[in-house]
Amino acid sequence: MPTEEMRSLIIAKDKDFDFSCEYHFAKFRRGAPQTADELQKQIMARFTLLDPWYETVRAKYELEYRTEVERMANRFAVEQLSDEILRFQ
């Protein structure tokens, strides 16, 4: 992502950007919680903030790619191919 775009998202306090940074970069920060209070805060943040955000992103992804997935499934049916063909071995 270009620096200017990141800067504008930070200035705008975009929640999606904040949550995605939390998801991708949390492992690089201080690591595991050191006290029971830190653990409780981490659990509550995940429960109240991140889990609903993950669900929102999942729903957007499903809506965006639903037609492509359905088209591929229909094409497989027309070609009489099994879904097993896509499995990585």
What contacts 24+ positions apart, CB below 8 Å, involve 38-41? none
Tell me, what's the pLDDT at 57? 84
CA distance 67 to 83: 17
Tell me, what's the pLDDT at 46? 75
What is the chain's pLDDT, residue by residue, as a tens digit (89 residues)? Answer: 788 888 888 888 887 777 777 766 665 555 666 677 776 777 777 777 778 888 888 888 888 888 888 888 888 888 887 767 766 55
Averaged pLDDT of the chain: 77
Tell me, what's the pLDDT at 32? 64
CA distance 35 to 75: 54
